[in-house]
């Protein structure tokens, strides 16, 4: 099987977050990491598919380290991973991050503008940092190195 020995991927799971602007930031930041910043190593997981899909999503989440990216303290991404698959390797709470960064703007969930995208980029970089920790420690290897 492809997943013996050290994993070659990192699963990144965004909360679905339709209700909150931080949810939209979470989804888009994960997508940016996957498409632009760490392609090939990042695999995005789909949260509701844990429940609705066949085993694929759950099995994969068990086989690789998972970083949960949550929009708020309800931590759906983290909790659902724990419920359906196992421990998360790392987690981000965007609302807490925004507080830390002193962001107090009114943000839009449906029409992300310049400000929202700027914050999305910053969150993406936070995810990248966590991925790089796993790569540097050798816990995860790139496919061509494995």
Partner 1 sequence: MSEKKVYVIPCSGIGKASASAGREATYRVVEELMPERCETLCLGLLTTGDEEACGKVRDNIVVAIDGCAKDCARKNVEAAGKTPEIAHRVQDYLKKRKDLKPEAVLDIGEGGRKLVEVMSRELAAEIEGLLEGGD
Partner 2 sequence: MSEKRKARETEKSSQKKEIPGGGKWVVLPCNGLDKEAGALAREMALHITKGGGNLICPVLYGRNPSRYECELAGGPLLVIDGCKTGCASKLARERGLKIARRLNVREMLKEMGIKGGKAPVPDPDNLSRLISSLQGLEREWEEKEVEPSPGLFTSPVELREFMMEKFVFKVPISGYFFNENDCWARVEGTRARLGVSDYVQQSASDMVFFEPPAVGTEIDIFDEAGSLESTKTALDIISPVSGKVVAINDELVEAPELINQDPYVRGWAVELELADFKGDSELLMDCDRYFSYLKDKVEREFDEKYGR
Number of residues binding to partner 1, judged by CB under 8 A: 33
Cβ(46)–Cβ(55) below 8 Å: no
CA distances to 5, 37, 87, 126, 127 from 31, rounded to whole Å, are: 27, 9, 22, 13, 11
Q: Is residue 62 a contact residue for partner 1 (CB under 8 A)?
A: no
In this complex, which beta carbon is closest to partner 1, that of residue 81 or of residue 130? 81
Q: Is residue 47 a contact residue for partner 1 (CB under 8 A)?
A: yes
Instruction: By CB under 8 A, name the one of 25, 77, 119, 127 that touches partner 1.
Output: 77
Cβ(47)–Cβ(16) below 8 Å: yes
Q: Is residue 118 a contact residue for partner 1 (CB under 8 A)?
A: no
Strand (E) or helix (H) holding 12:
strand 10-14
What is the closest distance, in whole angstroms, from the C-beta atom of residue 137 to partner 1 in the complex?
Answer: 26
Q: Is residue 65 a contact residue for partner 2 (CB under 8 A)?
A: no
CB atoms within 10 A of CB 63: 18
Could you list the residues that contact partner 2 (CB under 8 A)? 1-3, 9, 11, 39-40, 43, 45, 54, 56-57, 59-60, 143-144
């Amino acid at each position: 099987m492809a997943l013996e020995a050290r994993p070659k991927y990192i699963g990144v799971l965004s909360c679905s977050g339709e209700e909150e602007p931080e949810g939209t930031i979470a989804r888009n930041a994960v997508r940016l990491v996957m498409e632009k910043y760490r392609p090939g190593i990042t695999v995005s997981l789909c949260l509701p598919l844990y429940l609705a899909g066949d085993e694929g999503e759950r099995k994969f989440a068990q086989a690789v380290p998972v970083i949960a990216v949550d929009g708020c303290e309800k931590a759906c991404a983290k909790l659902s991973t724990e419920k359906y698959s196992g421990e998360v390797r790392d987690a981000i709470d965007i609302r807490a991050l925004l507080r830390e960064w002193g962001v107090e703007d009114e943000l839009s969930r449906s029409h992300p503008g310049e400000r929202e995208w700027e914050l999305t980029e910053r969150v993406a970089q936070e995810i990248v940092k966590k991925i790089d920790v796993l790569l540097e420690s050798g816990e995860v290897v790139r496919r061509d190195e494995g």
